């Protein structure tokens, strides 16, 4: 296999809303580059990129897949990505290592919400972008509207390079205003004829050509001077200026194609080869130290693992990008995170599920290896003595959480191993054993995301699991001051147990005055691990209780606060003063006072008008104008407080505060209400009082659950 030099490597990600035709475009690219002799189709389940069994079932891309294709003297690495927002982790992983994004638009629908959501990440990574308006051969194709929507959303940086001469059912020709040619295709697509632009299209083509030239020139002073001097630019000058403008995010060239009929893909590949930047052209990679690392094939070896998959009978396969130097089969490298030594036993080039062994890969290239023992996604492997550490990928916070149950308690260990493997493959999935809720919680990006996780556990780990709603992490507090006492006395032969305590229990707030008529000898302020405070006052006078028993009383109260009297939730913001009590010279011990303290606290808590507090989340919904009313109305049925709204491109950003108990499966509700045109993010804001009638219902359900258990 030919080893490509760094300047001749192109790394691209195919991006876009589900159904825009990314996978079919990838097939065209592989076919045009001679990697395959026959194009597969999504309907026939025989494409190179969508090879997973689950993708065949769903007829959609779920996992990003790596391919490569030679083109002229270059090699184009292609990452085909999912279009559903649930699988955004796959998109972010791909964007982290590619140097150009190809945003595929469906000419029937224009800029869809999936495009909008993915664009946010391309802005974050500052990925050079081109647009490919696909499906211009469709009966409902509206190229002009698609371009208008793109310019409206992404600005006038979107610059037309091509437009269809005859879109719709009879489509067979593309006018290219960079080359100033018309490409006419045969019925089966492929290589087109190069023809002069028809006379009736010349005025439009010249206007678009001039707009393209001006867009390129205005971002480069030297080119601007040439443009003013000559009134135009040569193709070579335009190519140079366009590459720089793409790197600076100053221009987004727009092409058109029909990937279904293989018309236009070759020209896009030619542009990627001739104009799109290589890793050498791009700004240096950010390192954890704050320094940077340039793409230099002669520099120290450093590679970054951006994706991990589990291969049956092979183990974990690690996908990586070489950021510096040259990695050779058999090299020993060091993990910058774990300091473990790893041997690159074999290097592979990947085309979907097929792999081809190679001896080496140079800086800028993307490949894979197997059997790395202590290396995971987001780890850097570097040449020993050269401790480079590439900045890790930041994956988005989860938007949906489900509790996981197994059919058998004996499967828990197997489930833990399965979840660990899922997180290795997909860092946007987070599994946790919640001590507070006493549940195993799986957090993900949406219902479809978690459904895929369930499918994997069913099929790969042979586990039968069920999802259920997670419990709500309520907090309990009190609203009035009370006194309570409890005597713990137990005699069962020999030494017994005796402890009696008198407590003053108050709602706590910062700056509150000391208790009236009760002296304070010592105060201990406990910052509770779950939030809030417990203030514990020693107000004992006259030695009614020996000071050595006070820690036991505090321990009993702490234990009771971990299992609140109302619902078993954590208690917060309470001040407790121990002001009296009794002890026995023989029978008093730590356990007796621990029990007495816990029981007295529970009695006081229940008499102090206890209040349940619920978690409130900040919710932001990105929503089109025309369905804003529906989304807002639905939120108001969820006890939401609308905090405001603001424009975000062609969308509105709706901000609200919503109780967590109302957000269960909200991602699915939102998708249904908006037909997939809206998305949301949520983050914890505060705890707030639960309305009285809801509190009563929560307590009732807790009692019923305890009786049933």
Q: What are the pLDDT digits (tens) for 175-223?
A: 999 999 999 999 989 999 999 999 999 999 999 998 998 888 887 777 7
Window from 395-399, 578-582, 610-614, 616-620 with minimum mean pLDDT: 395-399
Cα–chain-centroid distance for residue 289? 24
pLDDT at 508 over 80: yes
Is residue 170 a contact partner of residue 263, using CB atoms and an 8 Å limit? no
pLDDT of residue 217: 82
pLDDT of residue 1: 64
Q: How many other β-carbons are positioned within 10 Å of the β-carbon of residue 667?
A: 24
Length of the chain: 709
Percent of the chain exceeding pLDDT 90 equals 78
pLDDT of residue 494: 67
**Rounded to an integer, what distance in angstroms lies between the CA atom of residue 474 and that of residue 689?**
10
- Beta strand extents in 180-225 (DSSP E only): 181-184, 193-195
Q: What are the pLDDT digits (tens) for 399-451?
A: 889 999 987 877 888 898 899 999 999 999 999 999 899 999 999 998 899 99
Q: Which residues pair with 522 in a beta bridge?
A: 538
316 contacts: CB under 8 Å, gap ≥ 6: 308, 309, 310, 370, 371, 372, 424
Token pair listed for 634: 């639905």
Q: What are the pLDDT digits (tens) for 297-349?
A: 999 999 999 999 987 777 789 999 999 999 999 999 999 999 999 999 999 99
Q: Distance of CA 606 to CAs 177, 482, 483, 505, 545, Å?
A: 78, 10, 11, 11, 25
Domains of the chain: 6-274 (3.40.50.300), 285-382 (2.40.30.10), 400-468 (3.30.70.870), 476-609 (3.30.230.10), 613-694 (3.30.70.240)
Token pair listed for 620: 């932001």
Percent of the chain exceeding pLDDT 70 equals 98
The DSSP 8-state label assigned to residue 466 in this structure reads: E
Pairing relation of β-strands 100-106 and 9-15? parallel
Residue in the structure block whose two tokens are 């003053």 = 504
Q: How many other β-carbons are positioned within 10 Å of the β-carbon of residue 541?
A: 11
**Rounded to an integer, what distance in angstroms lies between the CA atom of residue 213 and that of residue 223?**
9
Cα end-to-end distance, the chain, whole Å: 64
pTM for the predicted model, two decimal places:
0.87
pLDDT at 495 over 80: no
Q: Distance of CA 110 to CAs 105, 141, 220, Å?
A: 6, 9, 31
Kindly write down the DSSP assignment for every residue of 131-160, as one continuous string: EEEE-TTSTT--HHHHHHHHHHHH-TTEEE
Q: Which residues pair with 655 in a beta bridge?
A: 620, 644
Q: What angle do CA 119, 91, 420 make, to 5 degrees?
A: 145
Pairing relation of β-strands 74-80 and 679-689? unpaired
Q: Which residues pair with 67 in a beta bridge?
A: 78
Is residue 144 a contact partner of residue 154, using CB atoms and an 8 Å limit? no
SS3 category, 467: strand
Q: Distance of CA 34 to CAs 93, 185, 340, Å?
A: 27, 19, 40
């Amino acid at each position: 296999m030919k080893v490509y030099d760094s300047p001749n490597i192109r790394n691209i990600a195919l991006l876009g809303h589900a159904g825009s035709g990314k996978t079919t475009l990838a097939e065209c690219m592989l076919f045009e580059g001679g990697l395959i002799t026959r194009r597969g189709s999504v309907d026939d389940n025989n494409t190179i990129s969508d090879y997973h069994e689950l993708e065949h079932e769903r007829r959609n891309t779920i996992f990003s897949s790596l391919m490569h294709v030679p083109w002229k003297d270059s090699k184009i690495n292609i990452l085909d990505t999912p279009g559903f927002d649930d699988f955004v982790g796959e998109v972010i992983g791909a964007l982290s290592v590619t140097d150009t994004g190809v945003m595929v638009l469906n000419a029937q629908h224009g800029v869809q919400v999936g495009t909008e959501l993915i664009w946010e990440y391309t802005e974050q990574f500052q990925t050079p972008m081109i647009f490919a308006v696909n499906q211009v051969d469709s009966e409902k194709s509206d190229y002009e509207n698609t371009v208008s929507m793109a310019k409206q959303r992404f600005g006038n940086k979107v610059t037309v390079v091509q437009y269809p001469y005859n879109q719709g059912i009879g489509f067979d020709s593309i006018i290219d205003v960079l080359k100033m040619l018309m490409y006419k295709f045969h019925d089966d697509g492929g290589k087109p004829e190069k023809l002069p632009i028809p006379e009736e299209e010349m005025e439009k083509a010249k206007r678009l050509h001039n707009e393209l030239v001006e867009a390129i020139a205005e971002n480069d002073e030297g080119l601007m001077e040439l443009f003013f001097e000559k009134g135009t630019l040569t193709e070579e000058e335009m190519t140079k200026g366009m590459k720089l403008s793409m790197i600076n995010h100053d221009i987004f060239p727009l092409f058109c194609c029909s990937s279904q009929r293989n018309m236009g893909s070759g020209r896009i590949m030619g542009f990627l080869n001739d104009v799109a930047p290589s890793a050498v052209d791009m700004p240096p990679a950010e390192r954890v130290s704050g320094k940077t690392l340039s793409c230099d094939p002669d520099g120290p070896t450093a590679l970054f693992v951006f994706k991990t998959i589990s291969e049956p009978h092979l183990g974990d396969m690690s996908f990586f990008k070489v950021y510096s130097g040259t990695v050779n089969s058999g090299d020993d490298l060091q993990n910058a995170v774990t300091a473990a030594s790893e041997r690159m036993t074999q290097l592979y080039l990947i085309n979907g599920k097929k792999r081809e062994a190679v001896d080496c890969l140079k800086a800028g290239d993307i490949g894979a290896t197997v059997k790395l023992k202590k290396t995971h996604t987001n780890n850097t492997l570097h040449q020993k003595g050269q401790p480079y550490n590439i900045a890790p990928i930041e994956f988005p916070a989860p938007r949906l959480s489900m509790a996981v149950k197994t059919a058998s308690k004996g499967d828990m260990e197997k489930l833990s191993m399965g979840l660990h493997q899922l997180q290795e493959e997909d860092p946007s999935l987070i599994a946790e054993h919640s001590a507070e809720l006493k549940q195993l919680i799986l957090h993900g990006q949406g219902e479809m995301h978690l459904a895929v996780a369930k499918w994997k556990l069913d099929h790969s780990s042979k586990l039968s699991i069920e999802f259920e709603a997670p419990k709500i992490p309520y907090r309990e507090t009190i609203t009035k001051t009370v006194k309570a006492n409890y005597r713990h006395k137990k005699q069962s032969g020999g030494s017994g147990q005796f402890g009696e305590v008198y407590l003053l229990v108050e709602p706590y707030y910062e700056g509150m005055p000391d208790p009236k008529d009760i002296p304070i000898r010592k105060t201990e302020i406990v910052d509770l691990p779950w939030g809030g405070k417990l203030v514990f006052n020693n107000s004992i006078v006259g030695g009614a209780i020996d000071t050595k028993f006070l820690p036991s009383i505090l321990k009993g109260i702490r234990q009771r606060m971990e299992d609140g009297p109302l619902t078993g939730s954590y208690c917060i913001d309470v001040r407790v003063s121990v002001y009296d009590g009794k002890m026995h010279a023989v029978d008093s011990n730590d356990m007796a006072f621990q029990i007495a303290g816990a029981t007295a606290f529970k009695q006081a808590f229940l008499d102090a008008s206890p209040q349940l507090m619920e978690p409130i989340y900040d919710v932001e919904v990105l929503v089109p104008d025309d369905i804003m009313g529906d989304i807002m109305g639905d939120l108001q049925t969820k006890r939401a407080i609308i905090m405001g709204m603001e424009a975000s491109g062609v969308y509105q950003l709706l901000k609200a505060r919503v109780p967590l108990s109302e957000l269960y499966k909200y991602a699915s509700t939102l998708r249904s209400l908006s037909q997939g045109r809206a998305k949301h993010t949520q983050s914890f804001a505060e705890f707030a009082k639960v309305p009285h009638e809801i509190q009563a219902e929560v307590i009732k359900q807790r009692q019923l659950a305890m009786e049933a258990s």
